[in-house]
Structure 1
Amino acid sequence: MRDVLAGRVAPAEPRDAATVLLVRRAVCGLEVYLLRRVSSMRFAPGRYVFPGGSVDPRDSDRGVRWAGPPPREWAHALGADEPLARALVCAAVRETFEESGVLLAGPSETEVVADTRGDDWEDDRRALVDRSLSLAELLDRRGLVLRSDLLRPWSRWITPDVEPHRYDTRFFAAVLPEGQQTRDVGGEADHVAWMAPNEAIRRWRNGELAMLPPTVANLNGLTECATPEDVRAAEREIVPVQPEFREAAGGITLIVPDGVGYPL
């Protein structure tokens, strides 16, 4: 860390990644889906996060059956070129299915898959995880189209320079499709929960939930939405946010840029 801060070592190149704030209606108004990463993970072990992960090379496949705003519109919204925008949206859909069992796709541009439970769906999910099946192949085989209109751009966070594993992550928001249910699929997570955003932040402040600054800040953004409809209607400017570590007499401190909704 000190070598990077002193300029003796070049920072690692961040990998493109996509993460989804999956929300649903609840008695309290709004809940978001969180999962706790297993302690053996090299990045954010034991932390509560949203479903997501790195972009896979096959997420750029132009053969993905697509409905909703085209990649050129997503490129403008995400601050990316068109191929990367396509890959980020595909990664968001793929990772959400891999880590929650929820698939943002349907048989047409106005329909969505009603239920993804059952052994056949679980076989497909596992095949995506082990990369023996691509998202394009899954959609083609089942006669489905990716529903990019079910996603909303939410934010963009870049891992600090000093971290050995760095990500340039676009955060999306999506409402749980009617009829679908999340399920604890294991793998990278050892616990999952639906929770009101303000409750998750309260438990983080009390030391009950371990979370990284991007997770907390994005939860704080959700507190401005009372219902899933508010999330769908949210207009957010996607500006890159990159916290940094600074060394002072008292040690090394993490600094989150001014104006970012990170409730300390």
Structure 2
Amino acid sequence: MSETLDKTAIRDAATVIVVRDRTTTPSILMGQRGASAAFMPSKYVFPGGAVDAGDDNIALGADLSALDAERLSQDSTRAAPALATAAIRELWEETGQILGTPSVWDDAPVDWRGFAQRGHRPNASGLNFMFRAVTPQGNPRRFDARFFMVDADHLITDPDDFSEAEDELSHLHWVPLKDARMLDLPFITEVVLAELSAVLQNGAPPASVPFFRNDDEAHLVTRLGGRSPLDF
């Protein structure tokens, strides 16, 4: 496959890092991909996946912060609300957990009907954009993934109830952050965990967001700027 074709195969994606008890003994929600999965088989990952075409058409019940929307728009052709929508949808599908705001949503698309039946629209106000990475060349599937952090307090569902989850991830559980590296993790997840630890320690949004481009031999890392005193 030529380099041009390889780049066109990259799909936008969104991932959610849900953090529980972040000021005391933080833990994060993770699950294990199936052994036969084409992408990252058997690895422990955060909930997430590719942006669907329909994600561009979903009206959020509450928007991202201006800071996060600005950072998401840098060097990107995908609208920030669609990325946030995909993150919330993937969290719902893979864990049964809802980031929502009360709303009547009678015309919800098929993928969102279970979510809407609980009386909510997706709520992006608690999401904090903290990392971006492109899957390295040579992988069977490539994604331009945006990683969002959100406090578990923003969930409107029981954080220990995964009964509504689909079967894409198994062994869903809250992993103490200090123990997460003992799991079988993708390399990029280990990098994200280091960044997450720094963000939690600082107690404020990062001054800039790391972007691992993986589009040349140097594996170029840039940072998406902007800073704000906003709490998260």
Question: Do structure 1's residue 101 and structure 2's residue 96 form an aligned pair?
Answer: yes
Q: Per-residue displacement from partner, 1:151-205 (whole Å, max 9, x unpaired)?
A: 000110001122231000000001113662144435112222322223212x1xx
Q: Per-residue displacement from partner, 1:75-127 (whole Å, max 9, x unpaired)?
A: 4221266862121100000111111121111217xxxxxxxxxxxxxxxxxxx
Within-5 A mapping of 1:66-77: 66-69=61-64, 74-77=68-71
Q: Hey, what's the Cα distance between the residues in 1 that align with 2:81 and 2:215?
A: 29
Residues 27, 235 of structure 1: alpha-carbon distance in 2 compared, 3 angstrom cutoff: closer
Q: Hey, what's the Cα distance between the residues in 2 that align with 1:244 and 1:54?
A: 19
Q: Hey, what's the Cα distance between the residues in 2 that align with 1:83 and 1:258?
A: 20
Q: Hey, what's the Cα distance between the residues in 1 that align with 2:120 and 2:85?
A: 13
The residue identity in structure 1 corresponding to 2:179 is: E
Aligned to 1:220: 194
Q: How many residues align?
A: 213
Q: Per-residue displacement from partner, 1:46-77 (whole Å, max 9, x unpaired)?
A: 01110000011111114x2421337x764422
Q: Hey, what's the Cα distance between the residues in 1 that align with 2:75 and 2:221?
A: 24
State the SS of the aligned residue for 1:88.
Answer: helix
The residue identity in structure 2 corresponding to 1:77 is: R
Q: 1:20, 1:172 within 8 Å by CA — same for their partners in 2?
A: yes
Question: Do structure 1's residue 24 and structure 2's residue 17 form an aligned pair?
Answer: no
State the SS of the aligned residue for 2:87.
Answer: helix
State the SS of the aligned residue for 1:199.
Answer: helix
The residue identity in structure 2 corresponding to 1:238 is: V
Aligned to 2:206: 235
The residue identity in structure 1 corresponding to 2:48 is: G
Question: Do structure 1's residue 173 and structure 2's residue 149 form an aligned pair?
Answer: yes
Within-5 A mapping of 1:173-192: 173-177=149-153, 180-184=158-162, 185=165, 187-192=167-172
Within-5 A mapping of 1:122-141: 133-135=110-112, 137=113, 141=117
User: 1:237, CA displacement in angstroms?
Assistant: 1.8
Within-5 A mapping of 1:17-96: 17-25=13-21, 29-62=25-58, 64-69=59-64, 74-78=68-72, 79=74, 84-96=79-91
The residue identity in structure 1 corresponding to 2:110 is: L
Aligned to 1:161: 137
- Give 5+ residue unaligned stretches, structure 2: 224-232
Structure 1 stretches of 4+ with a deviation exceeding 3 A read: 72-75, 80-83, 137-143, 182-186, 243-246, 255-260
Larger Rg: 1
| TM-score normalised to structure 1 length | 0.68
CA RMSD after TM alignment = 3.3
- Give 5+ residue unaligned stretches, structure 1: 109-127, 204-208, 247-254
Select between 11-20 and 191-200 the one with higher mean Cα deviation: 191-200
